[in-house]
Structure 1
Amino acid sequence: MEDRDWLIIKVLQENKNVTKTAQALFISQPSLTARIRHIEDEFGVKMIYRGSRGIHFTPEGDYLAQRAQDMLTNIRHIKEQVVNMSAEIRGTLRLAAPNYLAKFKLPRLLGLFKERYPNVEFDVINAWSRDICSLLYNQDVQVGFVRTDNSWNGEKHILHEEPLCIASKKEISLKDLPQLARIDYHTDTSYKTFLNTWWSENFSRPPRISMTVGQLDICKAMVVNGLGYGILPSTIFYDVEPLHQIPITDKAGNPILRKTIMLYQTEILELKMVNLFVNFAKTVDFNHLL
């Protein structure tokens, strides 16, 4: 068995389709079919059979698919440990970050790190904060960045805190918000719950949401063009003319801050490259990563 055979099994199990698997792996369909036959011959079993809705795995095939992820993880760990023995800092950092950080903070952070260690590459997964813990637990990534504090039991470090504000192109009053058009955007469930709680503590009427867009930067564009107000991190407006902003506060009058948190497992710091990156991220001023 070659390394790529385990990858073929994994991707084939995910897609349940030979054509889609060949496309995902950038190989021809005849070549993929030949590799599947080779795998079946090596183990002496039938791994898949064709049905009316694509392919199906036999019990033996299901077992191989379950072991494929373990084998790929072990192979990756072996390669990482071998690279770690070298005095040279090189390898691929596997990271995960939600959309806001991946767009507005992470590119500059990675660029600065690569200036110091040019032989380091990056594999970045864009995911919701709620899903990043699972990626860390499953060792799909080495370091995760999230926007909401959660039940992560490993190491965590707050890298940055930025105030949330009500932003509008024209001057508005806090008491008038229920009557005004609000631009919402899709975000983590925990953050959405927080906003709903904050609203219910301050207003007896629900917000008048005029539109819900897919991402925070789209919400920003709508606000900048006067289509409504938004509840956003204040630093996102660094590149536009000053808008009317009202900081939002808790019951005690303290500013409400949105955190940027770095998560990782203690044992991953045994890899020199990861250790250097984690410590580097802790020293960077996130206010200037724009």
Structure 2
Amino acid sequence: MDDRDWLILKVLYNEKNITKAAKNLYISQPALTNRLQQIEKEFGVQIVHRGRRGVEFTPQGEYLAKCANQMLLKIQKIKENVVNMENRVTGTLRLGVSNYFTDYKLPGLLKLFKNEYPDIEFKVLTGSSSEIAHLIHSHEVHVAFVKGAYSWNDQKRLLFEESICIASKDKIDLRELPNLPRIDYRTDPLLKTAVDNWWFENYSQPPLISIEVDKADTCKKMVLNGLGYAILPSLILDDADDIYKIDLKSKNGKPILRKTWMFYHKESIQLKFVKAFVEFMEKLDFQKIP
């Protein structure tokens, strides 16, 4: 068994489908099937059954799939420790980044970091903040950027805060908000809860959702075209000077803020390239990110 075999088990267990697993692994289906048969031969057990609903793992297969995560992490740590013995700062930094942060901050941030540390490479995993929080908990990434109050008991740093805004092409009266068309988008559960709580603190009727889209950026474009108002984080509106904005405030008049955090494990900064990145982030002025 090599690390590629463990990866095959991990991906196949997640997908439960030979076609999808082969596609994710960039190998052909026959090659994947052949490799799976070799693994079964090596252990002397059947690992999977093929059924109408896809691949079903046997009890032995379930056990090996769970071992796959541990083995891949162990192999990864060994490689990182070997690289860490070099005098220069080099390695592959694994980052877990929320979709929103990826779109608006990450490219400029990585460019600035790469200018200082040209020998460090990146592997970036993106998703919702809840998905990224899971990745850092399971040690699948070295550093995570998440938005919202997610539980984390290891090392963390507050990067910045932003207000939540009502955004509209034209000036609007808050008293009329329930009767105006709203453009909604798929967002993180914590932000959705904060917005919903604010709404029901102020209005007795539900919002008039006229358009639903999948991304905040699409939502902003709809607002720019005068198709309705939206409730969006202020960062996404920084480049939209011609949008009318009102910050959401709680009953006691305090602005409703969303925080962006950097999470990492204390043990990870024993790796030179992780320590370099954390120290870089602690000195970074986010206003200067292009």
Q: TM-score, normalised by structure 1?
A: 0.93
Aligned to 1:278: 278
Aligned to 1:58: 58
**CA distance 1:29–1:98, shift in 2 (3 Å):** same
The alpha carbon displacement at 1:181 in A equals 1.2
1:253 and 1:215 mapped to 2: Cα distance?
Answer: 29
Structure 2 residue identity aligned to 1:240: A
Structure 2 stretches lacking a partner, 5+ long: none
1:4 and 1:182 mapped to 2: Cα distance?
Answer: 48
Matches within 5 A, 1:158-177: 158-177=158-177
Instruction: Confirm whether residue 151 of structure 1 aligns to residue 135 of structure 2.
Output: no
Q: Determine helix, strand or coil for the equivalent of 1:217.
A: helix
Q: Determine helix, strand or coil for the equivalent of 2:95.
A: strand
Structure 1 stretches lacking a partner, 5+ long: none
Aligned to 2:37: 37
The alpha carbon displacement at 1:33 in A equals 2.9
Matches within 5 A, 1:67-146: 67-146=67-146
2:5 and 2:175 mapped to 1: Cα distance?
Answer: 62
2:56 and 2:178 mapped to 1: Cα distance?
Answer: 53
Structure 2 residue identity aligned to 1:32: L
Structure 2 residue identity aligned to 1:122: F
2:40 and 2:55 mapped to 1: Cα distance?
Answer: 15
Contact 1:92 1:120 in 2 (8 A): yes
Aligned to 2:262: 262
Q: TM-score, normalised by structure 2?
A: 0.93
Most deviating of 51-60 and 173-182 = 51-60
Please give the per-residue CA displacement for 1:59-96, whole angstroms capped at 9, x wherever unaligned. 32222222111111100011111111112211111111
2:15 and 2:200 mapped to 1: Cα distance?
Answer: 44
Aligned to 1:251: 251
Contact 1:104 1:289 in 2 (8 A): no
1:21 and 1:185 mapped to 2: Cα distance?
Answer: 30
1:200 and 1:54 mapped to 2: Cα distance?
Answer: 44
Identity of aligned residues (%): 51
Structure 2 residue identity aligned to 1:181: P
Matches within 5 A, 1:144-223: 144-223=144-223
Q: Determine helix, strand or coil for the equivalent of 1:242.
A: coil
1:28 and 1:196 mapped to 2: Cα distance?
Answer: 47
Q: Determine helix, strand or coil for the equivalent of 2:239.
A: coil
Report the aligned-residue RMSD: 1.8
2:28 and 2:151 mapped to 1: Cα distance?
Answer: 44
Structure 2 residue identity aligned to 1:160: F
Aligned to 1:6: 6
Most deviating of 32-41 and 113-122 = 32-41
Contact 1:162 1:257 in 2 (8 A): yes
The alpha carbon displacement at 1:26 in A equals 1.7
1:34 and 1:21 mapped to 2: Cα distance?
Answer: 13
Q: Determine helix, strand or coil for the equivalent of 1:239.
A: coil
**CA distance 1:240–1:9, shift in 2 (3 Å):** same
